Amino acid sequence: MNKKNRIYLAGPFFNEQQIKRLDEIQDLLEQNETIGDIFRPASAEYTDAKVGSFEWQSAVFKHDINNINVSDVVVAMLDYKIEENDTEPDSGTVWECGYAFANNIPVVAVRNVSDLPLNLMLAGSLTAFFNGSENVKKIKDYDFNQLMTRYEDVKVF
């Protein structure tokens, strides 16, 4: 019997394009028989304090950290500003990857734009990397129970 893994789906969600990319990844993950629950930051609004206040910041930070801690794998969308060919992923997403790695939680990354280099430290923290829009689709068949190391050729800097 396949274990159903809990996924923390990290990635920027600051505009419609970013949300659409995360929706697409979530749809692929939901088709994967080794995936159970998927948590997305910002999916549960904290409404007891004003957005941006210290109380709100602290509550959201703790909530997200707790959800990384109880996840089996972090899946990270590394595309940030595709329209600008920005080589750097969202800083919050990178932080979540580093936190997961430091806590022995595997990190699987996806990125639609395949011709951009990836930071060496981020690349080194990944268990698997689905690089390029056609390769991203393969995540629906990836075995999250085996967590095989998987990389496409990628330039690092």
| Tens place of pLDDT per residue across the chain (157 aa) | 579 999 999 999 888 989 999 999 999 999 999 999 999 998 777 788 888 899 989 989 999 999 999 999 999 999 877 666 556 788 999 999 999 999 999 999 999 887 788 889 999 999 999 998 899 999 999 999 999 987 766 788 8
The pTM score is 0.93
CA atoms within 13 A on the CB side of 63: 15
> What is the SS3 assignment for 134?
helix
Here the tokens at position 38 are: 């998927």
| Six token digits for residue 18 | 């970013």
